[in-house]
Amino acid sequence: GISHSFLPINARARHKVYVGYPYPSRIAVANDLISRFGEKGVLFVGDGWEKITSNCAPTKSFMETLELMRSSWVVLCSERTPGEAGGGKGIFKSLHRGYAECAGGNPIINLISPEQKHHMFSDEIIPVQNTEDMIKQIELLISNPTLHNYHSMKTRRGIARFSFSTILTRILNDLQE
């Protein structure tokens, strides 16, 4: 079938999907998003969200996650903060996450805390430093289809950075250093 991300934007649901496990910093973000958009305004994907909201889904397979991202209006993420299971160390340069988020083809708004010195994205994402800015960016994308399309194109261009060959080259270069 045809990918939802290539349908005209008014033909897709304008829903938001938040991908990631509910670490303490992410729960704070979730509470702010629920407060602004309502209980059904954001779908939270990852094991453990059922303790926070009824609008959630357990961890999905790669293809299921990809389809959720393709069918959403915007993908929301938060980098883990220092002290949260590997957060703040810049170790998440995986093919799986970067490829999935970019291959979704829709804008990615990523909350990167000021303590987070390293992350794997460059201009494929809309970086924000707090939930208030995340909400503003969501509202801008919902109200401005041209801006939404612009950020969708930037996201799709990022796929090449997370291909098998690019990741393998990066690993081999790291090993040689």
pLDDT in tens, 28-55: 999 999 999 998 889 999 899 999 999 9
Structure tokens at 166: 């690019």
The whole-number pLDDT of residue 28 equals: 92
Count of beta carbons in the 10 Å neighbourhood of residue 151: 22
Segment 121-145 shows an average pLDDT of 89
**In percent, how much of the chain has pLDDT > 70?**
73
Strand ordering across the sheet containing 74-78: 56-57, 42-45, 16-19, 74-78, 108-111, 126-128
Instruction: Tell me which of 34-38, 71-75, 117-121 is least confident.
Output: 117-121
